[in-house]
Structures are given as structure tokens and as C-alpha cells.
Amino acid sequence: MNIRQYLDSTYLKTAIQAGLDEDQNSVIVKKFIQEAIDENFKLIMIRPNMVAIAKEMITTANSKVGVGTVIDFPDGNSNVEDKLVEANLAIQDGADDLDFVCNYNAFIAGDSDLVKEEVLECTKLGLEKGKVVKWIIEVAALDDKQVVQLTALIKNVVVSNFKEIFYNSVFVKSSTGFFITQGNLPNGATISTITMMLENAFPLPVKAAGGVRTYEEAVAMIQLGVKRIGTSGAKIIANGAGTQLEY
């Protein structure tokens, strides 16, 4: 099974997180972009400051690889106005996909109205600009009931406010890949969590991110019904092997 068109090849470490200077980290990002072009992945997922470079490389290569970036990453705590500003800048730089981190802490604290507002306003912006929007709910920060509730909240906002033709352009996504768990528990996609998301996101698609490390795991996720997989080991996984990379 050729899974390349399911893969969002991902590199989201800052220079500090990678233990590098900015130039060294930029070299790594460019390698990921070139690899996505060479391997014909669905998308390259990078930080906002590298979107313009990615778009230029992909355009020069006459490639169909999409450019995705993250908004309010990785904590999701910014207000809706700040999220909209960051998203607009990414759109201006050429982003095709906008992966917003949902304010899951507000949701946990009981402020569902705040989350509904950001989902509505940010999704509206993305769809009006012809972009794919994904909402990262950070499953490792939630219990099973909260995963179900937050997934359903996002689905209900979209279904209530946008036409059916847009449903396939709004994803619910599992994880940032950067959440620190205790006891070495999974911080991303698992079969049980993704199953809950699929059941409660429908008719919206689901992206599995964080923890998909082998070809077999990727195929299992696709067979469950996910439409995208985010991984920093896309080439290794696509070629049928496994990766020890974190995201």
C-alpha cells in the first residue's frame, strides 16, 4: 500500500529544541522540504517562519506537495485574535493547511464558549481563504470523556455553521507531539483514542499525529479511517520500516 498521500511529513522543532543555531535548524527544515518533494508526500508541516521558503522550493520544483503550518503551537492558550493574526500571516506566506492548537486548557476548565468561538472564527478564516483547517485537541491532556466531548464540540460548530461541501476541509487532529506525559505514557495517537475521535468527528475527517512510528501502524490508522498522518519519520515509514523519532 502506497501511503505517501496520507502523510504530512513533519518537522516542528525550534532551533533551541533541536540544540542547534537558527542556520543549522533551517538546513534541517529544508532537507525535510526537499524530501517531501522527492517522495511526493501529501504535505510538509513546518513552523510558520519557514512557510515562505517551503512554498518557494515546492513551486520551483513544480511539485504538488502542500505546505502546512501550526498556529498557536504548542500550547494553544492565545486568544482568538492572536490566532487569527498568526493564521493570516501564514496564509500570506503561502500556507495551504493551518493546524490550530485548540485551547484545550480552557475546555478542561469548563470554558466551552471560548473554544466554540475560536473554532468558529479561525475555521471561517481558513475556509474563506480556501485552506484546510485542522484542530489539534492534544489527547494526552484529556481523559476519554473529554476527548469525545471536545471532538464533538468541534464537529458541532463546523456542521452548524458551514456548508457540507466544506466538511472534508476541517479536520480534528490528535496531538502536537510536544505534550509531556508522566510515566512515559503515549502523548499522541493510539488506536483507542483515534477510534473515539473518528466516531465523534464524523462527518469531519481525522488526522492521527504523534506516536505513529511504523508502516504497519500507519496502515492500521488508515484502515480505521484517518485521512492524514503526521510524522517526522515519513520517508522511513513510507518505505515500510519503523522510526524511533518522537513525532
3-state class of 232 per DSSP? coil
> For residue 244, is it within any domain?
no
Give the residue among 233, 239, 241, 244 at the shortest CA–CA distance from 8.
233
Instruction: Identify the CATH number of the domain in which residue 199 sits.
Output: 3.20.20.70
- 99 has catalytic annotation: yes
Tell me, what DSSP letter sits at residue 180? Answer: P
Write down the residue that cell numbers 524530501 correspond to.
35
- The grid coordinates of residue 7 equal 502523510
Residue 120, Cβ neighbours under 10 Å: how many? 16
The set of residues, in sequence order, having a beta carbon less than 8 Å from that of 46 and lying 6+ positions away, is 10, 11, 12, 29, 32, 33, 54, 67, 68, 69
Question: In terms of residue numbers, what domain contains 178?
Answer: 4-238
DSSP states along 116-144: HHHHHHHHHHHHHTT-EEEEE--GGGS-H
Give the residue among 9, 14, 70 at the shortest CA–CA distance from 37.
9
> For residue 247, is it within any domain?
no
Tell me, what DSSP letter sits at residue 209? Answer: E
> For residue 171, is it within any domain?
yes
Give the chain's domain count.
1
Residue 81, Cβ neighbours under 10 Å: how many? 10
> For residue 112, is it within any domain?
yes
Question: Which residue is catalytic, options 42, 55, 173, 235?
Answer: 173
- 143 has catalytic annotation: no
Q: Are 142 and 150 in contact (CB under 8 A)?
A: yes
> For residue 144, is it within any domain?
yes
The string of pLDDT tens digits covering residues 111-163 is 999 999 999 999 999 999 999 999 999 999 999 999 999 999 999 999 999 99
> For residue 243, is it within any domain?
no
Question: Which residue is catalytic, options 42, 83, 207, 235?
Answer: 207
Question: Which residue is catalytic, options 96, 99, 131, 134?
Answer: 99
Q: What is the pLDDT along the chain (247 residues), one digit of tens a residue?
A: 899 999 999 999 999 999 999 999 999 999 999 999 999 999 999 999 999 999 999 999 999 999 999 999 999 999 999 999 999 999 999 999 999 999 999 999 999 999 999 999 999 999 999 999 999 999 999 999 999 999 999 999 999 999 999 999 999 999 998 887 777 676 789 999 999 999 999 999 999 999 899 999 999 999 999 999 999 999 999 998 665 544 4
> For residue 245, is it within any domain?
no
pLDDT for res 186: 66
- 207 has catalytic annotation: yes
pLDDT for res 242: 61
DSSP states along 140-173: GGS-HHHHHHHHHHHHHHHHHHS-GGGGGGEEEE
- pTM, two decimal places: 0.95
H/E segment holding residue 18: helix 15-18
- What are the C-alpha distances in Å from 30 to residues 33, 120, 201, 234? 5, 33, 34, 15
* CB half-sphere exposure, 216, CA atoms < 13 A: 2
- What are the C-alpha distances in Å from 157 to residues 12, 72, 170, 220? 28, 20, 11, 29
> For residue 246, is it within any domain?
no
